[in-house]
Amino acid sequence: MDIDAASFWRRVNRLIKVKKTKQEAIAKECDIPYPTFRGMVTRKTFPGGDETYRIAKALGTTVEYLLSGKHPENTPDSLLDDMQAVIDKYKDK
């Protein structure tokens, strides 16, 4: 399995869109200065282990998904579908 930073950040950005939030909000929730967060995205560099965990937690996913694109049950992107269904169900409440 190839793990690359560009794919990591594509998954992060996709989850940010699914959650209908912004990079700034995720960076703040993770206690990562936004310029640092944005720099990692732009340069396609991996965050440290602790930061990766906090990003995954803020996005409601796993580190495994962010790194590999696979759910712990080995079902790629199924988490996004589940998250979108929950968001759609409760967005007007």
Question: Tell me: the pLDDT tens digits for 58-88?
Answer: 999 999 889 988 765 554 555 566 666 666 6
Tell me the per-residue pLDDT of 13-41, one tens digit each, with 9 for 90 and over: 999 999 999 999 999 999 999 999 999 99
Nearest C-alpha neighbor of 41 from the set 17, 12, 77: 12
- The verdict on pTM exceeding 0.95 is no
Query: Domain 5-90 belongs to what topology?
Result: 434 Repressor (Amino-terminal Domain) (1.10.260)
**Residue 10 Cα distances to 55, 61, 68, 71, angstroms:** 13, 14, 11, 16
Helix runs in 1-93, H state only: 5-18, 23-29, 34-43, 49-58, 63-68, 78-90
